[in-house]
Amino acid sequence: MIGTDPSRAAEILRAGGLVALPTETVYGLAADARQPDAVRRIFTTKGRPADHPLIVHIADAALLHEWARDIPEYARLLAAAYWPGPLTVILHKQPDVLDLVTGGQGTVGIRIPAHTLTLRVLRELGSGVAAPSANKFGKVSPTTAQHVSADLGEAFGAEGGYILDGGPCLVGVESTIIDCTGPLPRLLRAGAVSASMVEETTGLALLNSDGSVRAPGTLPSHYSPNANIHIVSADDLDEYPGAGLIAMHNVHTPHGMTRLLSARDEGEYARGLYSALRKADELGLADACAVLPASDGLGAAIQDRLRRAAY
Contact residues for Mg ion (CB under 5 A)? 133
Of 35 and 118, which CB lies nearer to ligand TXA in the complex structure?
118
Instruction: Name the 3-class secondary structure at 263.
Output: strand
Peptide bond into 84 cis (omega under 30): yes
The residue (of 133 and 202) whose beta carbon lies closer to Mg ion is 133
* Shortest separation between residue 243's beta carbon and Mg ion, angstroms: 26
* DSSP-assigned states of every residue in 215-255: -GGGSTT-S--SSEEEE--GGGGGG-TT-EEEEETTS---T
For residue 88, the Cα-to-chain-centroid distance in whole angstroms is 10
Comparison of 61 and 251: residue with beta carbon closer to ligand TXA? 61
277: Cα separation from own chain's centroid: 15
Nearer residue to ligand TXA within complex by CB, 85 or 244:
85
Q: How far is the C-alpha of 132 from the C-alpha of 142, rounded, in Å? A: 11
Q: Considering beta carbons, is residue 66 or 281 the nearer one to Mg ion? A: 281
Work out how close the CB of 120 gets to ligand TXA at its nearest, in angstroms, rounded to a whole number. Answer: 16
Minimum distance from residue 56 beta carbon to ligand TXA (Å): 8
Partner whose footprint covers residue 172, from ligand TXA, Mg ion, none (CB < 5 to 8 Å by kind)? none
d(CA 83, CA 75): 11
Q: C-beta of 168: minimal distance to ligand TXA in Å?
A: 14
Q: Minimum distance from CB of 144 to ligand TXA (Å)? A: 13
What whole-number distance in Å separates Cα of residue 265 and Cα of residue 157?
36
Q: Shortest approach of Mg ion to residue 54 CB, angstroms?
A: 10
CB of 233 to Mg ion, least distance (A): 29
> What gap in Å lies between CA 150 and CA 170, rounded to an integer?
20
One-letter amino acid at 65 equals H
From residue 200, give the alpha-carbon distance in Å to each of 81, 192, 245, 266, 305. Answer: 11, 15, 35, 21, 24
- Picked from Mg ion, ligand TXA, none, the partner binding residue 275 (CB below 5 to 8 A depending on kind) is none
State which residue, 107 or 202, has the beta carbon closest to Mg ion: 107
- For the residues of 217-228, what is the DSSP string, one character each? GGSTT-S--SSE
Q: Which residues bind ligand TXA (CB under 6 A)?
A: 23, 25-26, 28, 52-55, 88, 90, 102, 105, 107-109, 113, 131-133, 174-175, 177, 188, 213, 215-217
Closest to Mg ion by CB, 45 or 201:
45
18 binds, among ligand TXA, Mg ion, none (CB under 5 to 8 A by kind): none
Torsion sign over Cα 254, 296, 263, 79: positive
Cα separation, 18 vs 42, whole angstroms: 7
Q: Of Mg ion, ligand TXA, none, which one sits near residue 109, judging by CB under 5 to 8 A according to partner kind?
A: ligand TXA
